[in-house]
Amino acid sequence: MPTPSPAPTPSPALTDALIRALPKADLHVHLDGSLRVPTLIELARERRVDLPSMTEEGMNALVFKESYAHLGEYLQGFAWTCAVMQDRESLERISYEFAFDNWNEGVRYVEVRFAPQLHQHEDMDAREVLLAVDRGMARAQQEINAAMPPGDPEFRYGIIVCALRAFNAELSTYYGQLMRALSKAPRKKVFGLASLELAREAVWARDEAGIPVVGFDLAGQEDGYPAIDHQDAYEYAHQHFMHKTVHAGEAYGAESIFQAITKLHADRIGHGYLLFSPERVTDPKVEDRVAYTNTLADYIADRRVTMEVCITSNLQTNPSIRSAGDHALRKMLDARLSVALCTDNRLVSHTTVSNEIRLAVDNCGVQARELRDIVIHGFKRSFYAGSYAEKRQYVRGVIDYYDRIVREHATAQG
């Protein structure tokens, strides 16, 4: 008689302990939105930055709230965080702590993103900003992996360089100097030139300095500032084999996502939660808005353009999303889109990847098998700093470790 196949290991309950133990990736997280509040206060004292409060309780009550009235209020906190990120030592320390904060909740791979031009000035250019962040991340990675049990997947990181859709002279010394130098040029041209210069610095950092810059991003106010203004920068990144992601579908609809993919060669989309909002399609040439959004979703699914979903952040900045259950994540999964759960800003949104998974499980009907796919997509669709063969080997180790953790928790639960 043939030997019967062993019974499959039952899926354990998706407890907080299991979620925390699972290996996770975060593909969309901003460094300047993820500081430790005590560090922010300490650096503010040292650098004589006058915060709204010099206590953690006060900053959380006045600036880093649980909910915000609108996106503008959400973004106000970045003025204070960026104010203490204007020197090499602070950038290195914040990056070092950021890496450990991720590791301590089970994140094994993180792509930290930030806008170097927000931090550069006469004494520190974009290259030095990138070098400082890399030093902090690399030091943490070395210390973490030195203490790693044999056989566990190592902690890895990549850096994503952010350009801004629009800016004003007050945002940084660099932007102020650029706007004064090009005061007679159309603003959208100034915005595009800043992005092109940054794309060149990103390629230099990767190819000449050996910094693991793995991607180029476009962030900032979406409505009224189209991504196509930054096409030259993205074309430069594309021609130099740089991975690309774009904040799109966060404050403007499906057309913004379409433009990011077709004009900027986006490999991933940041947020994208308005993909399934046909009422936000404004192009008068689109006769059937529902068909347009559904066709776009099919195109994204077929091309495996990954959506970097940030549930908590979206709840805080979009009043139309009344609860986590209203988020478009469920529609994305039903449309078979490639999805990764991300934090956006660990401090500003008071969240972790574990918390985002908890929200998805409890409110969006994510089951154990779906969760496995989502988590693994985070590693597979990463902009890993290494060869494709090395990435495959790393992901294979993560998958084996994920399955081992699930089996152990299933056994423990009986």
Q: CA distances (Å), 62 to each of 67, 152, 156, 338, in order? A: 11, 41, 34, 37
Does the active-site annotation cover 122?
no
CA–CA separation, 270 and 277 (whole Å) = 16
Please answer whether residues 234 and 261 qualify as being in contact, where contact means their C-beta atoms are separated by less than 8 angstroms. Answer: no
Instruction: Report the SS3 class of residue 50.
Output: coil
Please answer whether residues 97 and 12 qualify as being in contact, where contact means their C-beta atoms are separated by less than 8 angstroms. Answer: no
CA–CA separation, 74 and 317 (whole Å) = 7
- Residue 209 CB neighbours (<10 A): 13
CA–CA separation, 242 and 237 (whole Å) = 5
CA–CA separation, 65 and 72 (whole Å) = 13
Q: How far is CA 112 from the centre of its chain?
A: 7
Q: CA distances (Å), 215 to each of 268, 382, 385, in order? A: 10, 10, 10
Buried residues in 383-412 as b, exposed as e (16+ CB within 10 A):
bbbeeeeebeebbebbbebbeebbeebbee
Q: Is 69 exposed, middle or buried (0-12, 13-18, 19+ CB in 10 A)?
A: exposed
Closest by Cα among 30, 27, 20 to 348: 30
Tokens, residue 35: 């500081």
Structural element, H or E, at residue 330: helix 329-334
Torsion sign, CA atoms 28, 265, 202, 169: negative
Catalytic residue of the set 92, 250, 255, 356: 250
Q: Which residues are catalytic?
A: 250
